[in-house]
Amino acid sequence: MHSQRKVLAREGFRWNMSQFDRQSDRLIGAMPDLLDTLGRPVRDLRISVTDRCNFRCTYCMPREFFGAEFPFLPREGILTFEEIGRLALIFHSLGVRKIRLTGGEPLLRADLPVLVRLLAEIPDTEIALTTNGSLLVHQADALAEAGLSRVTVSLDSLDDATFRAMNDVDMPVERVLQGIDAATEAGLTPIKINAVIKRGVNDHKLADFVQRFKGTGHIVRFIEYMDVGTTNGWRLDEVVSAAEIVTRISAVEGLVPIEAGYRGEVARRWRFTDGGGEIGVIASVTRPFCGDCTRARLSADGQLFTCLFASRGFDLRSALRRGLDDDEIRELIAGVWQARSDRYSELRSAETSSLKRPEMSYLGG
């Protein structure tokens, strides 16, 4: 606990934990659930804790754009743990029940377990994390001990040469598999494994995922290659559709569709007929799910985005640092959400694809 206080002090944290508890008690249930213009509540908050990453995945942070001279956010530009904690409590009072920490690569943020421990104090809230897994082997135990519920690991290929080419930093696939094993041993389960599928790059060995993870309790989720941001050179003919993915896997394993577990679940779920588990397929290009989207996104510098493809965010960092109190910030967030009408994927066209959009590495997916 002493080391945690030192970290919080370095982060500019002015509350002690008892003050945090009192603030939580005051905010919980402070307002009824919000609905946007399409009747969608806010249930999920994705918080980017850094815009930096140790990978240069070609579909996300291509090296030619994110090189050594790229102007990443300075330390003073990103939200402190105190600011993240305050905003998380406020979002909880508006209906959020799932918080996912993202990046960039979130495990690059120093002392991340301290933030996890802080967020784990919020009642009835799942705290999860999405990571590329390369640093997980050294941090899984501390994250679990801090109160993290589970992890999602991005892993685009089990073929080492393909994986090294896609991450573009020569990271071996074995490092990520060791991280998954460490997370499993730490109890951060069930682990979801996200694979972005790009035609002609990593779509030739989909069955490898089934063979490696079937029966482990982990859930592989195949994701259609998306037009997030403007630097990845996205083209529709490089998308392997969800339907094609399911067809290919069905050729080697029996699959039966199963119902979504909750409103807003992005993956369509399929179970193996022999009882060996399930897979998911995220079809954000060919079968958009905007109508049930309950996710808000907070960038590392405190911009609130109400859609992964939004062209602009709403500056909550300035509201915090100008000294607005929690009630004023809650009203600000409520106003943004109630005015929300985003449904980019349903409206995707030649015109919208050319609009400037934040990069995936900035928003965290």
For residue 238 the two structure tokens come to 């490089």
Determine the pLDDT at residue 151.
Answer: 98
The average confidence (pLDDT) of the chain is 88
For the chain, the 3-state helix, strand and coil shares in percent, each to the nearest 5, are: 35, 15, 45
Of the listed ranges 48-62, 121-135, 156-170, the least confidently predicted one is 48-62
What are the pLDDT digits (tens) for 115-143? 999 999 999 999 999 999 999 999 999 99
Which one has a higher pLDDT value, 31 or 65? 65
> SS3 of 192, please?
strand
DSSP conformational letter for 31: S
Determine the pLDDT at residue 14.
Answer: 58
Q: Is the pLDDT at 218 greater than 80, yes or no?
A: yes
Q: What is the pTM of this model?
A: 0.88
Of the listed ranges 61-65, 184-188, 231-235, the least confidently predicted one is 231-235
Residue 46 CA to residue 160 CA, distance in Å, equals 30
DSSP string, 75-97: GGGSPPHHHHHHHHHHHHHTT--
Nearest to 209 by CA among 133, 156, 273: 156
pLDDT class for 287, splitting at 50, 70, 90?
A: confident
Average pLDDT of span 259-274: 85
Residue 106 CA to residue 85 CA, distance in Å, equals 16
- By percentage, how much of the chain surpasses pLDDT 90? 69
Determine the pLDDT at residue 355.
Answer: 60
Determine the pLDDT at residue 232.
Answer: 60
Q: Is the pLDDT at 296 greater than 70, yes or no?
A: yes
Determine the pLDDT at residue 290.
Answer: 79
Of the listed ranges 88-97, 215-224, 260-269, 306-315, the least confidently predicted one is 260-269
Determine the pLDDT at residue 36.
Answer: 93
Determine the pLDDT at residue 309.
Answer: 76
Residue 252 CA to residue 72 CA, distance in Å, equals 44
Determine the pLDDT at residue 342.
Answer: 78
Q: How far from 288 is each of 161, 197, 268, CA to CA, in Å?
A: 32, 17, 11
Determine the pLDDT at residue 346.
Answer: 60
Q: Is the pLDDT at 350 greater than 80, yes or no?
A: no
- Between the two ends of the chain, the Cα-to-Cα distance in Å is 32
Q: Is the pLDDT at 12 greater than 90, yes or no?
A: no
Domains, in order of start, for the chain: 2-363 (3.20.20.70)
Determine the pLDDT at residue 4.
Answer: 60
Is the separation of the CB atoms in 346 and 286 below 8 Å?
no
Nearest to 271 by CA among 260, 258, 281: 258
Highest mean pLDDT among 92-101, 253-262, 340-349: 92-101
Which one has a higher pLDDT value, 289 or 115? 115
DSSP string, 45-57: EEEE--S--S---
Task: Give the list of residues 6+ apart from residue 6 with CB closer than 8 angstroms, or none.
Answer: none
What are the pLDDT digits (tens) for 303-339? 999 987 777 899 999 999 999 999 999 999 999 999 9
DSSP conformational letter for 328: H
Strand partners, 44: 98, 295
Phi, psi for residue 297 in degrees, rounded to 5: -130, 135
Average pLDDT of span 255-273: 87
pLDDT class for 283, splitting at 50, 70, 90?
A: confident
